[in-house]
Amino acid sequence: MRRPVPAWLRIATCRFRAHISASISRAVAKAASSYNTLGIPRGDKAAYAKQALENYNFFGAPHVAIIHTNEALGVYGAVDCGAYVSNFMLAAQALGLGTIAQASLARQSGLIRRHFHLADDRRVVCGISFGFADNAHRINSYHTSRAIVADTATFVEE
């Protein structure tokens, strides 16, 4: 027998499905635009690689927070980390600090776990590099566009 869903829960829940392909195409366009802002010519693979290495220099920031979760939590731990990253970045901005979330650091999770003496069951999700922004740097003049909700989510009513 199915239990009735409380009214407050029906109001608070909404199922949605994200259009992943839209996110990928936006990411590719964003990367191309950011390289253009930095003066990197289209197709210059050596310059792309050099810029990618800046991830591991934390883009010159003096601090990095390594965001990690217990691997056994799976996607739930990653969702919690995402909420934490958002709040961390908003709080830093309120304090006048610049931040950049860096998923690329997760590619070096073994190295990061060894360096920070994290247990093997810790999944590195990302890093957040932070410090006072260099507003004179060209990349800080670049701003991404925002997708409209209709392009990123489909709401399903029941």
Q: Is the pTM of this model over 0.85?
A: no
More confident residue, 151 or 89: 89
Q: What's at 98, amino acid-wise?
A: G
Q: What is the pLDDT of residues 129-142, one digit of tens each?
A: 999 988 887 777 77
pLDDT of residue 80: 95
- As its CATH architecture, domain 14-152 has 3-Layer(aba) Sandwich (3.40)
Phi and psi angles of residue 143, each rounded to the nearest 5 degrees, phi first: -135, 135
- Read off the tokens for 20: 């992943």
Once rounded to an integer, what is the mean pLDDT over residues 13-17? 51
pLDDT of residue 20: 52
Name the band, by pLDDT with cuts 50, 70 and 90, for residue 18: low
Contact partners, residue 133, CB within 8 Å, separation at least 6: 97, 98, 140
- What are the domain boundaries of the chain? 14-152
Least confident of 53-57, 103-107, 116-120, 126-130: 53-57
Report whether 112 contacts 65 (CB < 8 A).
Answer: no
Least confident of 57-66, 116-125, 142-151: 142-151
**DSSP assignment of 94-151:** HTT-EEEEEGGGGGGHHHHHHHTT--TTEEEEEEEEEES--TTSGGGG-------HHH
Report whether 27 contacts 145 (CB < 8 A).
Answer: no
Once rounded to an integer, what is the mean pLDDT over residues 100-118? 92
Closest CA to 64 of 40, 24, 107, 97: 97
Report whether 80 contacts 73 (CB < 8 A).
Answer: yes
Helix (H) or strand (E) holding 69: strand 63-70
| Percent of the chain residues past pLDDT 70, beyond the cut | 85
Q: What is the CA radius of gyration of the chain?
A: 19
Phi and psi angles of residue 157, each rounded to the nearest 5 degrees, phi first: -95, 145
- Read off the tokens for 35: 């390289």
